[in-house]
Amino acid sequence: MDIVKIFVPTTIAFIIGILITPILSGYLYRNKMWKKKSVVVATDGGVATLTQKLHNDEEKKTPRMGGILIWLSALITIAIFFFASMFDGPTLAKLNFLSRNQTWLPLFTLILGALVGLVDDYFSVTERYDQKAGGLSSKKRLLAVFIISLIGAWWFYSKLEVTEIIIPFVGIWDAGFLFIFFFIIVMLGTYSGGVIDGLDGLSGGVFSIIFSAYGAIAFLGNQIDLAAFCFVLVGGLLAFLWFNIPPARFYMSETGTMSLTITLVVVAFLTKQVLILPIIAFPLVVSSGSSIIQLLSKKFRNGKKVFLVAPLHHHFQALGWPATKVVMRYWVAGIIFAALGIIIALIG
């Protein structure tokens, strides 16, 4: 029954995602929900010459906000099983995976992250577009993530009374009050990995692999509701990926990446396997890390760059790799590191 509880909602989320795409896609194209200008100013204030060349937003005219497909299909699926369980009785009640101790908090972060990201995306495709910030400023987005992380840390500490973290090959560490600070730091750091959205099929494939890995860990840890939640997101992600494979019909953008990155952190802490997050989410780590290294290098080495352009996937693209090769190699690396993370979780 546990397997059914996971894969039935996953399949339904995928089907819902496929069915709502024509409506979403039609709306985005009718309202021209794409960036009207390419980014011309880099994060450090310099001219983003290579970024303009690689993205070329002025000519692509591919809508943003594709992340709506992911979280909306997940929310509809959750609602279907929740309300159906109230009327049908024991059969559908067993398929309802909405529970206070496992899925309330990740659902909360998914919704909040989606809404904040949606506001950012809206500003980035309207006349309020800011060439440097691309919507809401980085400070405003980080402030939103900080507030969400503060609420999440409080819920873990006060409501769920969770302060333990598994240290692989060592044992369980009871972080006590330090859990709150650690949670906030991890969420802010993981959110920075959202820069992986930039090539057709990249973010959808990578996030599908990551959530599948944590879904498997939750299942093996008998957190069936959490596992179902993870795989429902995978169902929505695969529906998104179906339409995001080159040529992409739309991009995930901030409403997708913010909701997924901060929800991923909550899932990792709920499984108590947050210390293997950098392994399972290695593609996010290298993308975020390359951007940080690039910024520090330009600041402290008189403008010298380590990469042709950051994040790392765009560096490979600038080297002449076809975008499809970059994406597929990220998928391969993602699968390998996700498998490694699962192994460590099992034997550590």
Q: What is the pLDDT of residues 229-282, one digit of tens each?
A: 999 999 999 999 999 998 899 999 999 999 999 999 999 999 999 999 999 999
* Structure tokens given for 165: 């973290």
Residue 263 phi, psi dihedral angles, 5° rounding = -70, -35
pTM of the predicted structure, to 2 decimals: 0.92
* Structure tokens given for 123: 């500003």
pLDDT, position 133:
47
The candidate with the shortest Cα–Cα distance to 288, out of 209, 171, 181, 196, is: 196
pLDDT, position 35:
82
CA–CA distance from 74 to each of 8, 53, 81, 141 (Å)? 13, 35, 11, 23
Q: Which stretches of the chain drop beneath a pLDDT of 70? A: 1, 37-60, 88-93, 127-134
**DSSP secondary-structure letter at 1?**
-
Measured CA to CA, the distance from residue 213 to residue 219 in angstroms comes to 10
Torsion of CA 53, 253, 116, 11, to 10 degrees: 180
* Structure tokens given for 239: 């529906």
Angle between helices 67-88 and 2-30 (to 10 degrees): 130
pLDDT, position 230:
98
HEC string for 179-233? HHHHHHHHHHHHHHHHHHCCCCCHHHHHHHHHHHHHHHHHHHCCCHHHHHHHHHH
Ranges assigned E (strand) in the chain: 164-167, 171-174
User: How crowded is residue 339: how many other Cβ atoms within 10 Å of its Cβ?
Assistant: 15
Measured CA to CA, the distance from residue 290 to residue 333 in angstroms comes to 16
pLDDT, position 92:
67
pLDDT, position 289:
93
Measured CA to CA, the distance from residue 251 to residue 157 in angstroms comes to 36
